[in-house]
Amino acid sequence: MNFINNITRVTSLLGIASLLLAYTTNVSHSGSNPNPQGVNKMKSGYHWATAPTREMQDDDFSNPAFLWVDIGSEQWTTKDGEAGKSCASCHSGVETMKGVAATYPKYSAEDGKLRAVQHQINNCRTQQMKAKPWKWESDNMLGVAALVKNQSKGMPIKVKVTGEAQPFYNKGKKSYMLRRGGLDMSCKNCHMDYTDTRIRANILSNGLGNGFPTYRLKWQKIGSLHRRFRGCNKNVRATPFKSGSDVYTNLELFLTAHAMGMEIETPSVRN
C-alpha cells in the first residue's frame, strides 16, 4: 500500500503525465479484462478471511487441504484402467502442469464446450487410461484437481473469453445475473452489489474461485467450486445444478474471467 501511495505521489507530481498514464492504463485494461469494475478492485476471498484462517492457509504444513493434495500426488503415479497407465506415464512429473490451471475453464473443440480442470482429468482417465471417470466430489478428483491447480499457485489467472469461448462466457454472465430460488436472488445481488458488506455473520466477498478446491472449515474437508455454487444456490432456496454441469462450468468461466490477473491460491482455506 505504501508503495502504491508513493507511486501515486510521484506521478501526481508529474501532473499531465499522470493523467496520460491513467488513461493508457485504462485503455489497455478494457481489451483484456471483461470486469467492468476494473481488475484492481477485485479481491480474493483471502482478503476477508479471518487471521487464523489465513495463517492456516499460509503454512503448507498447517493447511489441512494438503491432505488431499497428498492423495493427488499418490494418484498421479498410480496406474489405473485398461491401458495400464498413470498420469505420470504421459505427463511425467506433476510440475509439467505449471500454468495449466490458470487457463481453465477452456474451450474444447472435441467436446464443443468448455472443460473445467476436472473434466480434463476425467477425459484423460477415460480416453487415455481407459479407466473409470472419477466422481466430481470424490477424494481422488479433489486431490488431483488441487494438485494440478497448486502447480499454478501464485500465477495470474489468464482465461480466454473471446473466440469459441465467448458464447459460453456470455451464458455464464447471464446466469450470474439471473435471479433464482424462493428468495429470488442472483449471484450479482450479493457478490457485486454488496461486496464488503456484512450479511449477518458473514462479510460478502467478490465470490471468486481463485482458491478452489478450498478447505472449508464448515465442511471439515476440501470441496470444489461447484459445491460452493450449490451451497449459494440452496441458500436462496434455489434448486442447485449438478456439479460439472454446463451451467456451472459456464458460470466458472465468468467468475474466473472476473478474477483475470489475480493469483491462484489453491488450495485455500475458508470458513
Which residues are the active-site residues? 232
Nearest-angstrom CA–CA distance, 97 and 204: 32
CA distance 101 to 117: 7
The binder of other proteins chosen from 34, 156, 181, 231 (CB under 8 A): 181
Interacting residue with ligand HEC among 42, 157, 185, 264 (CB under 6 A)? 185
Stretch that binds ligand HEC, among 14-22, 27-35, 151-159, 209-217 (CB under 6 A): 209-217
Rounded CA separation 95/147 (Å)? 10
**Beta strand pairing status for 113-115 and 106-108?**
antiparallel
Grid cell digits, residue 246? 454446463
Cα–Cα distance, 7 to 101 (Å, whole number): 32
Is residue 227 within 8 Å of 245, Cβ to Cβ?
Answer: no
Under a CB-based contact definition with an 8 Å cutoff, are residues 112 and 100 in contact?
no
Supply the minimum distance, in Å, between the C-beta of residue 236 and ligand HEC.
5
The one among 198, 221, 243, 269 contacting other proteins by CB under 8 A: 198
Backbone angles phi, psi at 134, to 5 degrees: -85, 150
Rounded to a whole number of angstroms, the minimum distance from the CB of residue 76 to other proteins is 38
From candidates 124, 157, 262, 264, binder to ligand HEC by CB under 6 A: 124
Distances in Å between the Cα of 141 and the Cα atoms of 35, 49, 85, 95, 157 are 30, 26, 17, 18, 21
Q: Site map for other proteins, 210-249, x if CB under 8 A?
A: -----------------------xx--xxx----------
In the complex, minimum distance from the CB of residue 216 to other proteins, in angstroms, rounded to a whole number: 19
Smallest distance, other proteins to C-beta of residue 35, A: 19
Query: Residue 110 — left, alpha, or beta (φ > 0 → left; ψ -120 to 50 → alpha)?
Result: alpha
Does 232 bind ligand HEC (CB under 6 A)? Our answer is yes
Interface residue with ligand HEC among 113, 125, 149, 258 (CB under 6 A) is 125
Considering only 91, 98, 160, 221, the residue that binds ligand HEC (CB under 6 A) is 91
The footprint of ligand HEC (CB under 6 A) covers: 45, 85, 87, 89-91, 97, 100, 117, 120-121, 123-125, 128-129, 144, 148, 185, 187, 189-191, 199, 202, 204-205, 207-209, 211, 214, 225, 228-229, 232-233, 235-236, 251, 270
